[in-house]
Amino acid sequence: MMKPLLQVEGLVTEIGGARVVDDVSFHIAVGETYALLGESGSGKSMTALSLMRLLPEGGRLAAGSIVLGGTDVRALPERAMRDVRGGGMAMIFQEPMLALNPVVTVGRQIVEVLARHRGLAGRPARDAARALLDAVGVPDAERRLDSYPFELSGGLRQRAMIAMALAGEPKLLIADEPTTALDVTIQAQVLDVLRRLKAARQMGMLLITHDLGVVAGNADRVGVMYAGELVEEGVRDAFFASPQHPYSRMLFEALPRSGDGGRLTTIPGQVPPLDAVFTGCRFAPRCPYAQDRCRTESPGWQTLGGQRVRCHFAGSLPVAAARGAGAARAVKAAAPLLAVDDLKVHFPIRRGLIQRTVGHVRAVDGVSFAIAAGRTLALVGESGCGKTTVGKALLHLIEPSAGAVTLAGETITSANLGSLRRQAQMVFQDPFGSLNPRMRVADILLEGMDALGVGVPGERRAAVARLLAQVGLPDDAGSRYPHAFSGGQRQRIAIARALAVSPRLVICDEPTSALDVSVQAQILNLLRDLQDALGLAYLFITHNLAVVEYLAHEVAVMYLGRIVEHGSASDVLRAPRHPYTQALVSAVPRIEPGTGVGVIRLAGDQPSPLNPPTGCHFHPRCAHASAVCRETYPDKTELGDGHWARCHWVAAQTN
């Protein structure tokens, strides 16, 4: 075995007396990627911060050793740690907009690292900063050096942070959820950059994530963390072939799988708070195999086929049953509940003293679709393509510029918005931001019922209790405030609020984007159950194509304000025809061996809707673009069974 670059032994981190990292040991070799996997609250990020000695106030390293390249990091004085941070090891944080200084240009922030760790200044420092941005794939790097973080897209901000982390030429790179909020295409690009630079520089990497697909494509070894402890560790291929710990198995079972319409496995309960007093196995309260011994005796490590696992009954657990493909979701020809015809949302750009309109941002530029009762249409595409604007325009939260929206046979205008709000509701991406923190949950649900006159006034409290039970929340949830709930529970509250006025259409805007796979499974099961029980129609806005394949009946793919491909979920996701859809599908991380078809790399970034390209909007990034693509926007090419695409190349292949 190669000599470890990083050796962590018996690490214990305490915050206010609570052990947030408890007796954690692992190693990372030169050029190796070690993935730390687990739900939110399991201690992954706190482990990374412990390595960097960047603990929050009240935190301390209580025990254990951290040896980086032969140096005991725990024994170093703070002055020496300033050289280790950025030089010995560097960290890519989960949210680049919070980690980058918003009032300092990207170039200056990178130059600060170069000055500290490589002694560069002036023109050599700027040249080195530009070379770093080039290395991580930032287009027009010279100009971007003078940009502020808010002027960059999410993918470019993440790449700028990677460049800053690499500026000190670290031996170990810690990547904390580096792609969580990114589109699949940008995620693929960022992960490709990390793999390429790691190989070129022979760095070790600690990859922290809850995405099993990202782990499958990038890790050499995997450690699974739960409630501050490592519970399983092994080589990637062995781990994915046969996870041994019940927690690892349940994480796999919670994933939506291609072609599997069965009910997702959920993990009951949630990760215990790290200030809890533990006896026995920490996973026992949620484990379907737990016995009396598990509740009283903490399991030690045992080795099974090269994997280490902390479970009393590892090796004797029943073989995980294949998840049955549930009954296919019925496809019924029905009159549409919602019909959208040529919807446009153009935002005027005004300049000068009299605010004269000098142009328009064409956020939504002629979108048409229909959804029947009891069916789900997924609207997918990269950030900035106009998906969320479509959802808000349907509810007149943003006023449409043109087009017609018909709901239950009634054309929606500003005169009948009350009817619209009664029949259509929205579940927003960030439940914590959309729930009033000063209102109790019961009052949040009652607010819409009172405003729209839903139900009998004296019976509304009882209706709220039934709603909370329907979405799987405890009896006392109505008397508590939003901050008292986990992320998954807050999303359930948001769904209950939408259902409070008995709508027929629910617009779901990225409702699972920030959730762990276990909580995501709960929300997806809930949405399916509610649709089956109440006949709800869903417009499901997302960039998570694995979720789309599980939940949606039909898919519409948006690019730069327009739908470029539409059809049944199976047709669009398993046999995509538009080059953009093919790139999206190819970029989805997969855990099944042999399913990858190779990621299709898109050139550049999505153009601005302020000045879209002539002809087909996708042609600057398309490998199949020809002269006609640069001149004329393509018409629909019918592909059969309601499947169509707008693409000259597809039309030429079909004719």
Q: What are phi and psi of 342, to 5 degrees?
A: 55, 45
- Say whether pLDDT at 500 is over 50: yes
Residue 331 pLDDT: 47
- Say whether pLDDT at 1 is over 60: no
Least confident of 197-206, 222-231, 321-330: 321-330
* CATH fold group of domain 336-654: Rossmann fold (3.40.50)
Least confident of 54-63, 289-298, 507-516, 580-589: 507-516
Q: Tell which residue, 559, 518, 510, 502, has the closest CA to residue 539.
A: 510
DSSP 80-119: HHHHIIIIIEEEE-S-HHHHS-TTS-HHHHHHHHHHHHH-
- Say whether pLDDT at 14 is over 90: yes
Q: How crowded is residue 160: how many other Cβ atoms within 10 Å of its Cβ? A: 27
- Say if CB 395 and CB 420 are below 8 A apart: yes
Residue 328 pLDDT: 43
- Say whether pLDDT at 47 is over 70: yes
Q: Where are the domains of the chain?
A: 4-310, 336-654
| Domain 4-310 homologous superfamily, CATH | P-loop containing nucleotide triphosphate hydrolases (3.40.50.300)
- Say whether pLDDT at 181 is over 80: no
- Say whether pLDDT at 354 is over 50: yes
Please classify residue 106 by burial: count the beta carbons closer than 10 Å to its beta carbon, then call 0-12 exposed, 13-18 middle and 19+ buried.
buried
Share of the chain above pLDDT 90, in %: 55
- Tell me which range, 124-138, 148-162, 251-265, is most confidently predicted by mean pLDDT: 124-138
DSSP 440-468: -HHHHHHHHHHHHT-S-GGGHHHHHHHHH
8-state DSSP, 277: P
- Say whether pLDDT at 332 is over 70: no
- Average per-residue pLDDT for the chain: 88
Residue 277 pLDDT: 85
Residue 326 pLDDT: 42
d(CA 27, CA 39): 21
- Say whether pLDDT at 193 is over 50: yes
d(CA 541, CA 421): 19
- Say if CB 210 and CB 37 are below 8 A apart: yes
Q: Tell which residue, 607, 599, 602, 512, has the closest CA to residue 559.
A: 607
Residue type (1 letter), 450: D
Least confident of 71-80, 134-143, 237-246: 134-143
SS3 assignment, position 129 = helix
Residue 32 pLDDT: 95
Largest distance between two CA atoms of the chain? 77
- C-alpha pair distances (Å), 196 with each of 31, 137, 193, 298: 11, 11, 5, 41
Residue 306 pLDDT: 79
d(CA 414, CA 417): 6
- Tell me which range, 199-203, 403-407, 474-478, is most confidently predicted by mean pLDDT: 403-407
- Residue labelled with tokens 């002027």: 151
Residue 512 pLDDT: 82
More confident: 612 or 369: 369
What mean pLDDT is predicted for residues 16-31?
Answer: 92
Residue 511 pLDDT: 85
Residue 263 pLDDT: 79
- Say whether pLDDT at 279 is over 50: yes
Strand 71-72: give its sheet, edge to edge: 18-29, 4-15, 59-68, 71-72
Residue 539 pLDDT: 97
Strand partners for 14? 19, 60
Q: Are domains 4-310 and 336-654 of this chain identical in fold? A: yes
